[in-house]
């Protein structure tokens, strides 16, 4: 097994080749079939719940059997979603009411066919802990039409920051959904 630093460098090189500036190639590198999608962010109170709830609702509306979950790299179990995130989600007809934080575990990584993180460094951190996930980790911002982008954490920001974050996640999830179904 490769050491974490070697694995991170290998993943970076692989990601650079896969994504580059033209992220159209990303669709060809997605694992197939995808039955379970896991969204991962730092605390699992804003971004990954936004993405999981939004994509889950869209897929359910299309009667698609893909399951969607979320988890955090640096979180504890059982916390509610951020109140501002919940408010912004409700404004967009998405509920985070039932959401509770879940730490990333080896079991979740093993079950997921596709793992979507919000920032590049989350890819690196995730692969240090779970190198077996190498071929199924992607950044959500890579599904933004145009240049790939980081989905920055709105935590501690204004209501407008949360709204901007949700719009970015919605746009990327719509493109991801197009690649999945």
- Active-site positions? 41, 47, 153
Place of tokens 């989905």: 151
- How far separated are the first and last CA of the chain, in Å rounded? 34
CA distance 44 to 55: 15
Which residues, 6 or more positions from 97, have their beta carbon under 8 angstroms from its beta carbon?
A: 86
Task: Please give the structure tokens belonging to residue 40.
Answer: 């991962």
Helix (H, G, I), strand (E, B) or coil at 68: strand
């Amino acid at each position: 097994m490769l050491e974490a630093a070697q694995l991170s460098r290998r993943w970076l090189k692989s990601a650079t080749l896969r994504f580059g500036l033209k992220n159209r190639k990303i669709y060809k590198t997605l694992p197939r079939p995808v039955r379970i999608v896991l969204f991962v962010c730092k605390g699992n109170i804003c971004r990954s719940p936004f993405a999981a709830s939004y994509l889950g609702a869209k897929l359910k509306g299309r009667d698609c059997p893909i399951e969607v979950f979320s988890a955090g790299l640096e979180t504890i179990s059982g916390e509610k979603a951020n109140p501002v995130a919940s408010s912004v989600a409700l404004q967009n007809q998405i509920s985070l009411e039932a959401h509770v934080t879940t730490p990333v575990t080896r079991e979740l990584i093993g079950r997921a066919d596709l793992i979507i993180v919000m920032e590049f460094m989350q890819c690196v951190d995730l692969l240090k802990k779970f190198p077996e996930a190498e071929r199924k980790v992607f950044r959500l911002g890579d599904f933004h039409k145009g240049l790939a982008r980081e989905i920055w954490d709105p935590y501690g920001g204004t209501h407008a920051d949360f709204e901007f974050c949700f719009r970015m996640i919605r746009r990327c999830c719509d493109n991801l959904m197009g690649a999945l179904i």
